């Protein structure tokens, strides 16, 4: 397969262009990616919004892919909005191919419950997994049983966004009339035949998902060129995947679920509903494991108290305490109970974990997973990483609650194997800064070529001025009523001179309350993020912004860094005229945070622990918030930073060298600069 060259593209050997001409910075990214992937290496691209990084990465990857029969391109993103951008980009590439050239084929998929066309998709997520598995295993799911070769051909004939695939599958008609088909099944069946598969990070970086999904789709890691979008999120995504909690409630709920499972089994006359640990009945074995967990629960509670008492100073009773503990000691107690608790039989932790995963009961409505599934997962993590210095296990006491949490310090423990296996690729983000930090953190192999590049975007300075308020602070030790009033004056000065919607992002919910919620904002409709906001609620807020613009109503929408509103949300159509970022979300001291910095110092060198473990991720969160307003090259927005630490020292060095700022020592200057900007650019960008 050979892609045609658009007429104005003359300075790159790569093919498959989505546009007739390339933007400044885009051609460099294409050339860098093409060269590095051709040699089996990786490009880590800090590429700002507007240069066309999706089109650039696809051009480079596809240009290498077309010369390597048997390979495939895997585009990974944790944002569903990005799926549509990839699909539209591939459609644009196909529209520019010469007549007779085969088009690029693509399969787009998300989680199984998100693609289900049955009513069971409305069920609780944990119950959905059980019900779906049961219906498929007993051949009772008609859409899953439906064989629709015509739909498979349609998927390969024209790139479909996952929502379009689901819609086609729901309305599909076969030779016998209406024949709704499982779109998740169709996607899996066609993935190996497509040039590109678009999916979530889990397909590569969750071992359990990787082993089950890739094998079922007929794909091998060794044959993949990977593109990872929003790659700044990948280290924490991997860390969160191995962050779990073990406490009395989890053990208690797991025991209750095991009791319920046994009662249901016994009511059926002892019939087994699934595989068991040996030839004895499933119910009797679960009863025995349940008793083991009861004793382990009591023993763990006593051990927790002993650990905390040893660490607690006189007079600290009732205070919150954190102490790092040894996972082996926890597992040793469980092994001892297993050895003595199952009629003298030697049952290991692995077998217990397997039994926990087999429990099937109706889940608690407040939980996404069964307690037994969550317990099995945390025991698996403790068992696997007990000897690893990359795992920090912490015992925390707050009031009457004691909990043990797992914290992965090194994401390369997971990602390193992936990057060593695949054929190369591109990791990209508008805040992949510095890219060298992510190369080290993710364990990008050094045996192949590695390029870490930051690309400039010439339009940003003109259409995205950045003002830092220098007379206020977000430091906790220096905050107070007068400082808060000054922050509000800066925000009010911006609001009074901004023609449309404004977003405010704060470093914590406490600061959000102090700065935004407790103040009056005349002439503004307020939308304030809460901790329990769901994706559905965020989608509703985006629609409210659009509707308010149509009515001429100005909105102040506010949230926190790392929350639902500051990352992973596509504020399309230049819907935000300005963004205010208050503070820098540097994590407070804690046992896992201290362990992370110490680990990074040992692994990557002196001085990197504080920067890699705390400052740079915090600054990158601010950069993410800033980036919500500018989503394409035509957009314009004013950015106000209430973070004086960014004016110098280590914090200033964490900002990209291409980012230029101004300062304002009072709210009046802020108002004047905002007014001048919108006098020059009064109208938001139009169109998609």
Please tell me the distance from the alpha carbon of residue 177 to that of residue 148, in angstroms, as a whole number.
12
Give per-residue pLDDT as tens, 23-50.
878 999 999 999 999 999 999 999 987 7
Element (H, E) at 671: helix 667-680
Mean pLDDT of all residues in 127-144: 85
**How many CB atoms are closer than 10 A to CB 274?**
11
Cα–Cα distance between 438 and 412 in angstroms, integer? 10
Contact between 621 and 450 under an 8 Å Cβ cutoff? The reply is no
Lowest mean pLDDT across 118-122, 211-215, 642-646, 664-668? 118-122
Instruction: Give buried/exposed letters for 629-652 (b at 16+ CB in 10 A, else e).
Output: bbbebebbbbbbbbbbbbeeeebe
What average pLDDT does this structure show over 219-248? 95
Place of tokens 């929350």: 563
The SS3 call for residue 44 is strand
pLDDT category at 274 given cuts 50, 70, 90 is very low
Rounded to an integer, the average pLDDT of 84-109 is 94
For residue 439, the model assigns a pLDDT of: 96
**pLDDT one-digit tens code per residue, 562-618:** 999 998 788 989 999 999 999 999 999 999 999 999 999 999 998 899 999 999 999
Burial profile 457-484: b = 16 or more Cβ within 10 angstroms, e = fewer: bebbeebbbbbbbbbbbbeeeebeeebb
Residue with tokens 């007779």: 100
Category of 545 on φ-ψ map: left (φ > 0), alpha (ψ -120 to 50) or beta: alpha
SS3 469: strand
What span, in angstroms and rounded, lies between the C-alpha atoms of 317 and 304?
Answer: 15
What kind of architecture, by CATH, is found in domain 245-408?
Answer: Orthogonal Bundle (1.10)
Its CATH architecture, for the domain 460-680, is 3-Layer(aba) Sandwich (3.40)
Distance CA 276, CA 344 (A): 18
pLDDT category, 687, cuts 50, 70, 90? low
85 contact partners, CB below 8 Å, separation of at least 6: 54
Supply the pLDDT for residue 345. 58
Domain(s) of CATH 3.40.50.300: residues in the chain: 26-240+412-454, 460-680
Summarised one tens digit per residue, pLDDT across range 327-361 is 999 999 999 999 886 655 567 899 999 999 988 88
pLDDT mean across residues, the chain: 89
Decide: 597 and 542 in contact? Cβ < 8 Å.
no
Question: Does residue 642 register a pLDDT over 80?
Answer: yes
Cα 635 to chain centroid, rounded: 25
- C-alpha neighbours within 13 Å on the C-beta side of residue 82: 25
Domain 26-240+412-454 has CATH 3.40.50.300: yes
What tokens appear for 572 in the block?
A: 């399309």
83/210 Cα distance (integer angstroms): 20
In the chain, list all ranges with CATH 1.10.275: 245-408
Neighbours of 678 (CB within 10 A): 17
Tell me how far apart the alpha carbons of residues 366 and 284 are, in angstroms, rounded to a whole number.
29
Q: Tens digits of per-residue pLDDT, 643-671?
A: 999 998 899 999 988 888 999 999 999 99
> Which band of pLDDT confidence, cut at 50, 70 and 90, is reported for residue 175?
low
Tell me how crowded residue 600 is: count the other CB atoms within 10 A of its CB: 23
């Amino acid at each position: 397969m050979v892609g045609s060259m658009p007429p104005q593209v003359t300075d790159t050997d790569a093919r498959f262009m989505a546009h007739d001409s390339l933007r400044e910075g885009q051609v460099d990214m294409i050339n860098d990616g093409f060269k590095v992937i051709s040699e089996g290496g990786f490009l880590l691209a800090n590429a700002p919004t507007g240069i066309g990084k999706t089109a650039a990465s696809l051009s480079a990857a596809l240009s290498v892919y077309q010369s390597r029969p048997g390979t495939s391109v895997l585009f990974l993103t944790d944002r569903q909005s990005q799926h549509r951008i990839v699909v539209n980009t591939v459609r644009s590439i196909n529209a520019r191919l010469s007549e007779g050239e085969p088009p690029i084929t693509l399969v787009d998929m998300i989680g199984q419950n998100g693609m289900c066309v049955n009513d069971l998709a409305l069920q609780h997520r944990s119950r959905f997994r059980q019900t779906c598995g049961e219906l498929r295993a007993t051949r009772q799911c008609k859409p899953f049983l439906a064989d629709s070769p015509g739909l498979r051909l349609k998927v390969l004939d024209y790139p479909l966004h996952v929502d379009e695939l689901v819609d086609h599958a729901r309305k599909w008609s076969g030779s016998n009339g209406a024949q709704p088909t499982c779109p998740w099944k169709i996607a899996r069946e066609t993935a190996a035949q497509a040039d590109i598969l678009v999916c979530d990070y889990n397909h590569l970086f969750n071992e359990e998902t990787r082993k089950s999904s890739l094998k079922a789709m007929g794909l091998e890691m060794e044959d993949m060129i990977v593109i990872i979008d929003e790659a700044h999120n990948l280290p924490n995504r991997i860390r969160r995947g191995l962050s779990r909690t073990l406490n009395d409630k989890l053990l208690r709920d797991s025991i209750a679920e095991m009791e319920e499972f046994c009662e249901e089994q016994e009511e059926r006359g002892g019939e087994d509903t699934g595989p068991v640990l040996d030839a004895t009945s499933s119910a009797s074995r679960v009863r025995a494991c349940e008793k083991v967990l009861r004793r382990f629960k009591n023993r763990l509670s006593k051990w927790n108290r002993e650990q905390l008492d040893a660490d607690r100073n006189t007079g600290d009773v009732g205070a919150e305490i954190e102490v790092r503990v040894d996972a082996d000691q926890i597992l040793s107690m469980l092994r001892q109970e297993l050895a003595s608790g199952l009629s003298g039989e030697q049952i290991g932790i692995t077998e217990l974990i397997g039994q926990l995963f087999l429990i099937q009961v109706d889940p608690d409505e407040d939980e996404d997973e069964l307690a037994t599934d969550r317990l099995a997962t945390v025991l698996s993590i403790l068992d696997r990483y007990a000897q690893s210095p990359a795992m920090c296990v912490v015992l925390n006491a707050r009031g009457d609650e004691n909990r043990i949490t797992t914290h992965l310090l090194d994401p390369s423990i997971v990602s390193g194997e992936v990057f060593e296996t695949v054929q190369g690729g591109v990791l990209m983000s508008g805040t992949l800064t510095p890219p060298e930090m992510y190369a080290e953190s993710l364990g990008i192999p050094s045996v192949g070529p590695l390029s870490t590049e930051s690309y400039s975007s010439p339009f940003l300075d003109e259409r995205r001025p950045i003002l830092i308020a220098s007379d206020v602070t977000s430091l906790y030790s220096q905050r107070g009523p007068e400082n808060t009033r000054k922050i509000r004056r800066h925000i009010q000065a911006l609001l009074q001179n901004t023609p449309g919607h404004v977003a405010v992002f704060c470093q914590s919910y406490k600061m959000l309350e102090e700065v935004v919620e407790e103040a009056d904002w005349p002439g503004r409709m307020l939308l304030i993020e809460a901790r329990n906001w769901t994706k559905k609620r965020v989608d509703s807020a985006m629609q409210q912004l659009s509707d308010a613009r149509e009515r001429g109503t100005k909105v102040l929408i506010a949230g926190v860094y790392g929350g639902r509103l500051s990352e992973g949300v596509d504020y399309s159509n230049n819907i935000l005229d300005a963004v205010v970022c208050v503070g820098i979300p540097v994590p407070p001291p804690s046992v896992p945070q201290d362990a992370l910095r110490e680990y990074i110092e040992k692994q990557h060198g002196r001085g990197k622990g504080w920067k890699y473990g705390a400052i740079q991720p915090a600054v990158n969160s601010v950069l993410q918030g800033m980036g919500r307003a500018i989503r394409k090259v035509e957009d314009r927005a004013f950015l106000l930073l209430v973070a004086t630490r960014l004016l110098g020292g280590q914090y200033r060095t964490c900002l990209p060298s291409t980012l230029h700022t101004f300062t304002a020592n009072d709210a009046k200057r802020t108002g004047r600069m905002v007014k001048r900007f919108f006098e020059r650019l009064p109208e938001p960008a139009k169109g998609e």
